[in-house]
Amino acid sequence: MGKKILVALAGNPNSGKTTIFNNLTGMKQHVGNYPGVTVERKEGYCIHKGIEMRIVDLPGAYSLSAYSVEEAVARNFLVNEKPDVVVSIIDSSNLERNLYLAVQLMEFGAPLVMAFNMSDEAKARGYQFDLEKLSGAFFAPIVETVGHKQQGMDALLDAIVSVAEKERNPRTRAVVNYGREIEEEISNVVEALKSEAPPGGYPYDLRWLAVTLLEQDKEIEKEITTSGVKDRVSQGIARLQKFFGESPSTEIASRRYGLISGACQEAVRSTVERRHTTSDKIDNFLTNRILGLPIFLVMMYLVFMLTFRLGEPPMGWIESFFAFSAEKISALWPAGSESAVKSLLIDGIINGVGGVIVFLPNIFLLFLAIAFLEDSGYMARAAFIMDRIMHKIGLHGKSFMPMLIGFGCSIPAIMATRSLENRRDRLTTMMVIPLMSCGARLPIYSLIIPAFFPQAWQAPMLWLIYSIGIILAVITAKILRMTILKGESVPLVMELPPYRMPTFKSVLLHMWERGWLYLRKAGTVILGISILLWAMTSYPGLPEDHLQRFEQQRNAVTAENITQEQKNERIASIDNSQAEAAIEYSIMGRIGRGIEPLLKPMGFDWRIGTALIGGLAAKEVVVSQLGIVYSVGEADEESESLRNKLIRNYSPLIGFAIMLFTLISAPCMATFAVTWKESGSIRWALLQFGGLTALAYLITVVVFQTGRLMGVGL
Ligand code: GDP
Ligand code: MG
Q: CATH number of the domain that 43 lies in?
A: 3.40.50.300
Is 643 a domain residue?
no
d(CA 64, CA 74): 8
Q: At which of 202, 219, 246 does a domain end?
A: 246
The percentage of the chain sitting over the pLDDT mark of 70, rounded to a whole number, equals 89
Mutating to test ligand 1, I would choose from 15, 143, 148 the residue with most ligand atoms within 8 A of its C-beta, which is: 148
Do 464 and 447 share a domain, yes or no? yes
In a domain, 45, yes or no: yes
- Cα(267) to centroid(ligand 2), Å: 29
Q: Are residues 366 and 488 in the same domain?
A: yes
- Give nearest CA residue, ligand 1 atom 17: 16
> Which stretches within 433-563 are classed as H helix?
442-452, 455-482, 504-538, 544-559
Ligand 1 pocket test: pick from 9, 12, 14, 71 the residue with the most ligand atoms within 8 Å of its Cβ. Answer: 14
Residues 398 and 346 in one domain: yes
Q: Is residue 612 part of a domain?
A: no
Are 106 and 12 in the same domain?
A: yes
Q: What is the tens place of the pLDDT at every residue in 455-488?
A: 888 888 888 888 899 889 989 998 998 888 876 5
Same domain, 563 and 685: no
- Distance of alpha carbon 247 from alpha carbon 607, whole angstroms: 62
Which residue intervals of 196-349 are DSSP H helices?
A: 206-214, 218-222, 227-244, 248-267, 278-286, 292-331, 340-343
Distance from C-alpha of 374 to C-alpha of 379, rounded to nearest angstrom: 5
Q: Domains in the chain: how many in total? A: 4
State yes or no: pLDDT of 665 exceeds 60. Answer: yes
Q: Do 156 and 49 belong to one domain?
A: yes
Model confidence over 385-432: pLDDT tens digits? 777 777 777 787 778 888 888 887 888 889 888 777 678 888 999 999
pLDDT of the residue at 648: 87
| pLDDT value at residue 401 | 80
**pLDDT attached to residue 515:** 76
pLDDT at 42 over 70: yes
| Residue 105 in domain | yes
Please give the distance, rounded to the nearest whole angstrom, from the Cα atom of residue 271 to the centre of ligand 2: 31
Residue nearest to atom 9 of ligand 1 (CA): 16
φ, ψ of residue 156 in degrees (nearest 5): -65, -45
Say whether both 128 and 32 belong to one domain.
Answer: yes
Output the DSSP codes for 342-372.
HHIIIIIIIHHHHHHHTTHHHHHHHHHHHHH
**Residue 89 Cα: closest atom of ligand 1:** 3
Same domain? 561 vs 467: no
Structural domain contains residue 20: yes
Q: Look up the pTM and report it.
A: 0.55
Asked if 403 and 488 sit in the same domain, the reply is yes
Q: 94: CA distance to ligand 1 center in Å?
A: 13
Residue 263 within a domain: no
Range of the domain at 33: 4-165
With contact defined as beta carbons under 8 Å apart, do 232 and 79 qualify? no
Q: What does the pLDDT read at residue 115?
A: 97
* Ligand 1 neighbours (beta carbon < 6 A): 11, 13-19, 60, 117-118, 120-121, 146-148
C-alpha–C-alpha distance, residues 104 and 412, integer Å: 34
Q: Where are the alpha helices (DSSP H) in 52-178?
A: 69-81, 95-108, 119-124, 131-137, 153-165
Going by the DSSP 8-state scheme, the letter that residue 151 receives in this structure is B
Tell me the CA–centroid distance for residue 59 and ligand 2, in Å. 7
Shared-domain flag, residues 103 and 219: no
From the CA of 147, which ligand is nearest? Answer: 1
Residue 1 clears pLDDT 70, i.e. is over it: no
Query: What's 146's DSSP letter?
Result: B
CA of 19 to the centre of ligand 2 (A): 7
| DSSP label at residue 489 | P
One domain, residues 140 and 35: yes
Assigned domain for 81 exists:
yes
Tens of pLDDT, residue by residue over 114-155, are 999 999 988 888 888 999 989 988 889 999 999 989 999 999
Which CATH number is 200's domain given? 1.10.287.1770
390 plus 527 within the same structural domain: yes
Residue 308 lies in a domain: yes
Q: Is 507 left (phi over 0), alpha (psi -120 to 50) or beta?
A: alpha
